[in-house]
Structure 1
Amino acid sequence: MRTGRDLKRISRELRAMDDKEIKKRFRKELRTAAAPMVPAVRAAIRQIPSKRGYSADGLRARMAAATKLEVRTVGKDAGVRLRVDGRKMPDKQKALQSYMEGLKRWRHPVFGSDVWVQQKPHPYFFRTVDPMGARTRVKVIKVIDQVAKDIS
């Protein structure tokens, strides 16, 4: 039980069984396995350097608030996903997390002039998640294996 296909197969079998308690436990245990990543990413966002100090209503606070964990056990997107959700950001800031990570080139006009500058990215997501990924993957695999045993 090591791939996303296995998760999809288990979710299919859970739907066929129609056992609400096992489904509920499965989602809860998957969420528990990946949950430590959320505060780590939020902390990394808050530590992004800025000329201004951290503010509870600033850009970094909005990005931290938009960080969420999604657990899906149905459909073709079955899996565990950690994301900084651009849909939770204000208008004209929906791609900020991609710019900050360096996935997109970040250019903007200097306030009060027609001069454009390129902003340096400050990667925060992958450098935080990558070291935690192996441990989380092992936990998720254990959850999948346990539920597979319970189904059998």
Structure 2
Amino acid sequence: MIELSTDQQALQALGKALKSEADGKKLRRDLARDLRQALEPAKAEVRSGLMSMSTGGMSVEGAGLRTTVLKGLKAEARLTGRSTGARLRMKRTPGVRNFKNAPKRLNSKRGWRHKVFGRDVWVQQEGEPGYFDEPLIKHKAQYRKAVLEAMEKCARRIARSVK
């Protein structure tokens, strides 16, 4: 998992300032929404990278692995605690063919082992590293700037309400 975070002390200070404001709940909610929206382009790139992965020509009944993995893709914003910041997160997938950590394995060259359907044969399947990491690394400065702009927007809003 790659975590994009700004200066955590500044974000924590902003979070404290929001608590002291009369409409702090609304300001906090708006800041968290803006932080999540700052990561929407990254989320779209991760989504397209995962969907462009090869399926090996297999058709599966029900929801496919890639589609199920994408359902767990979330942009999160935390304004308090040790992990203050904005980040993309992929949830584990315990209900998908007993493959509980599919997002991690799909992003790993090491891949995973699985039994061939209907036979007592095990195979090693490789992931396609980079669908998650590369968009975040490549555009890290852009996402950081968007997060800083969201923080600045909230700070201006607080300054206006104090006057």
Which TM-score bucket, shorter chain as reference? Answer: 0.7 to 0.9
Instruction: Give, in angstroms, the shift of residue 86 of structure 1.
Output: 0.8
Matched, 1:42 2:61: no
Establish whether residue 138 from structure 1 lines up as the match of residue 145 from structure 2. yes
The alpha-carbon distance between structure 1 residues 87 and 4, as it changes in their structure 2 partners (threshold 3 A), is farther
1:137 maps to a residue whose letter is: R
Residue 28, structure 1, aligned to residue 33, structure 2: yes
Deviations 1:89-137 (A, max 9, x none): 5362220111111176522334455543322121210022222221111
Aligned residues: 151
Give the Cα–Cα distance (whole angstroms) in 1 for the partners of residues 117 and 93 of structure 2. Answer: 26
Unmatched tracts of structure 1, length 5 or more = none
Judged with a 3 Å threshold, the aligned counterparts in structure 2 of structure 1 residues 104 and 5 are, in CA distance, closer, same or farther, namely: farther
Which residue of structure 2 aligns with residue 85 of structure 1? 91
User: Which residue of structure 2 lines up, in the alignment, with residue 58 of structure 1?
Assistant: 64
Structure 2: gaps spanning 5 or more residues: 1-5
Structure 2 counterpart of 1:64, one-letter code: L
1:4 matched to 2:11: no
SS in 2 for 1:11: helix
Between the aligned partners of 1:40 and 1:138, the Cα distance in structure 2 is 17
Q: Taking structure 1 as reference, are residues 87 and 53 closer, same or farther at Cα in structure 2, changes over 3 Å only? A: closer
Residues 122-131 or 67-76, more deviating: 67-76
8 Å contact 1:54–1:60 — kept in the other structure?
no
Structure with the larger helix share = 1
| CA–CA distance in structure 2, aligned partners of residues 15 and 54 of structure 1 | 51
Q: Secondary structure in 2 aligned to 1:51? A: coil
Q: Quote the RMSD (CA, aligned, Å).
A: 2.6
| Secondary structure in 2 matching 1:42 | helix
Structure 2 residue matching 1:86: 3-state secondary structure:
coil
Quote the sequence identity (%): 27
Q: Could you state the TM-score of these two structures normalised by the residue count of structure 1?
A: 0.81
Cα deviation, residue 85, structure 1: 0.9
